[in-house]
Amino acid sequence: MKLHFIGTSSAKTSLKRFHSSIILKDKDFTLLVDAGEAITKALLHQYIYFNSINSILISHLHSDHSSGLPALITQMHLDKRQAPLFIYANINIIERLQDVLYQSYLFQSRLGFQLNFIAFENGIPFSINEKISITAKRNSHLDKYIENDTKKQLNFESSSFLISFENHKIHFTADIGGYDDLNSFQSELPTLLITEISHISFDDILTIADKPFPHKILLTHYSDEDKSQLDNFIKNLSDEFEDKIVIAEDGLILNFSS
């Protein structure tokens, strides 16, 4: 199994890096996690063929995590895709994604391939294929927006994921609200934590790193302006953490043995 960082930037658009997104790949199967603005260019930059993607998992509806979905499906159509595409999202937001595609004139009857929308619920594991299982948990990232929903029409679902395959468990956070969200899957003893760094502090990272699990922490979802401060944080880590905490960069690939 291979994990490929397609983008590591925060919501702030960068000329150097793409918005936060990863791919999990195993032989002939490819899962894309999040599809923000310019995901098509990000995939081309990493030499990922659009139609090699079998499934897409969306964490929440912020534009840097989901707004590239219509463009990606358009490119799949233009590349004459025939294989079905599976799109996974929380049960409370999946209809919103369907509406976005409909409003983008991406009609099922004209695509040439089947779009399968699959809703997941928090805390209930679901299988992506015969090897990959995922459990989602709601995090607090969007809670600060609830009071602004004067029309009471929105759902504020933002998911963190436990991605399990073979003997590996990865806790992946696209966006979170604070330190408590880093502990969502502590009871599962994840070996790897991939966390955004835009909405938590360096002290939060050191606190979670002081625990026996996860064994390694990869930091992503950071702006260009924050990079120097992040580099300085890594440079000044104590010996016990210098190999445990790492900055992820676009194009980084991790290989997992069976």
Taking residue 228's Cβ as centre, other Cβ atoms within 10 Å add up to: 9
Split into its structural domains, the chain has a count of: 1
- Strands 133-138 and 126-127, by their bridges, are antiparallel
Query: Which residue do the tokens 């358009």 mark?
Result: 74
On average, the pLDDT of the chain sits at: 97
Which residues are CB-neighbours of 50 under 8 A, at least 6 positions away? 40, 43, 72, 75, 76, 79, 81
Query: Which one, of 4, 7, 6, 10, lies nearest residue 175 by Cα?
Result: 10
- Domain extent, residue 174, equals 2-255
pLDDT-based confidence at residue 23 (cuts at 50, 70, 90)? very high
- Give CA separation, 99 vs 18, 107, 114, in Å: 25, 11, 16
pLDDT-based confidence at residue 239 (cuts at 50, 70, 90)? very high
pLDDT of 258 above 90? no
pLDDT-based confidence at residue 257 (cuts at 50, 70, 90)? confident
What is the pTM assigned to this prediction? 0.97
Query: Which residue do the tokens 């015969």 mark?
Result: 130
pLDDT of 242 above 90? yes
Between helices 94-103 and 69-78, what is the axis angle to 10°? 50
Query: Which one, of 89, 23, 91, lies nearest residue 60 by Cα?
Result: 89
- The per-residue pLDDT for range 93-149, each reduced to its tens digit, is 999 999 999 999 999 999 999 999 999 999 999 999 999 999 999 999 999 999 999
Tell me how far apart the alpha carbons of residues 97 and 105 are, in angstroms, rounded to a whole number: 13
Q: Are 140 and 177 in contact (CB under 8 A)?
A: yes
Q: Which amino acid is at 239?
A: D
Confidence at residue 206, expressed as pLDDT on a 0 to 100 scale: 97
Query: Which residue do the tokens 């594991």 mark?
Result: 125
Q: Which amino acid is at 32?
A: L
- The per-residue pLDDT for range 28-55, each reduced to its tens digit, is 899 999 999 999 999 999 999 999 999 9
Six-digit token string for 62: 């912020």
The CATH number given to whatever domain includes residue 93 is 3.60.15.10
Q: What is the 3-state secondary structure (H, E, C) of 119-147?
A: EECCCCCEECCCCCEEEEEECCCCHHHHH
Task: Tell which wins on pLDDT, 59 or 153.
Answer: 59
Q: Are 175 and 65 in contact (CB under 8 A)?
A: yes
pLDDT-based confidence at residue 218 (cuts at 50, 70, 90)? very high
Q: Phi and psi dihedrals of 171, rounded to 5? A: -90, 115
- The per-residue pLDDT for range 160-212, each reduced to its tens digit, is 999 999 999 999 999 999 999 999 999 999 999 999 999 999 999 999 999 99
Six-digit token string for 19: 């918005």
Tell me how far apart the alpha carbons of residues 56 and 88 are, in angstroms, rounded to a whole number: 6
